[in-house]
Amino acid sequence: MLKGAVAGRYSAALYEIASESNQVDQIEEELKAVNAILQENAGLQKILYHPRIAAAAKKELLGQLFKGKISGLTLDFIDLLVDRRRETFLGDIASEFIARANAARNIVAARVTSVVDLQDQEKGEFGRLLSKLTGKKVQVSYATDPSLIGGVLIRIGDKVIDGTIKAKLTALGDRLKQIS
């Protein structure tokens, strides 16, 4: 609960400032890049998230890593998170910021999971279908999960369309249990 509230509040504030200064796209890309670096570097993450390391030391390290590579606004924002001991929420804040930016652009994110990799033609068809279904531009990401047996699982925001054989077999099993 706290994570969502913190991410929502900080991302809303950053989005407002970025929007006023016409830097939404730039800040979005910088947040993605910083978050990717943190995810790829466990040592950096350990230092940044360690509660006993002073905020000044963390900010100095971040300054050395990112100064000149990201905007002053993004670096100041990350410094603010460190000062307020909210640096562990950076990934969630970045996700919320991206969601706000996409909502403002009338873009929705979708995830299509299938048993095997889809061909480019199938991916294009899913993109068109989901765009028509939602009435918005759709950014589709694709994943594979052999445990689905067949069919596809589609997630759009908090909505799920489960057309997998696994789901159908589970439903059939549940009905059979009710009968016996």
Say if domain 107-179 classifies as CATH 3.40.390: no
Is the model's pLDDT at 82 over the cut of 90?
yes
User: What are the sequence ranges of the domains in the chain?
Assistant: 2-103, 107-179
**Model confidence pTM above 0.75:** yes
Is the model's pLDDT at 1 over the cut of 70?
no
* DSSP label at residue 118: P
Percent of the chain with pLDDT over 90: 96
Ranges assigned E (strand) in the chain: 107-114, 137-144, 151-156, 159-164
Of 130, 58, 147, 138, the residue nearest 103 (C-alpha): 138
Residue 158 near residue 132 (C-beta atoms within 8 A): no
> 17, exposed or middle or buried, with CB in 10 Å at 0-12, 13-18, 19+?
middle
The reply to whether domains 2-103 and 107-179 share a CATH topology is: no
**pLDDT tens-digit readout, 9-41:** 999 999 999 999 999 999 999 999 999 999 999
d(CA 17, CA 9): 13
**pLDDT tens-digit readout, 94-145:** 999 999 999 999 999 999 999 999 999 999 999 999 999 999 999 999 999 9
CATH assignment, 2-103: 1.10.520.20
What pLDDT shows up at residue 157? 82
- Two tokens, residue 35: 């978050």
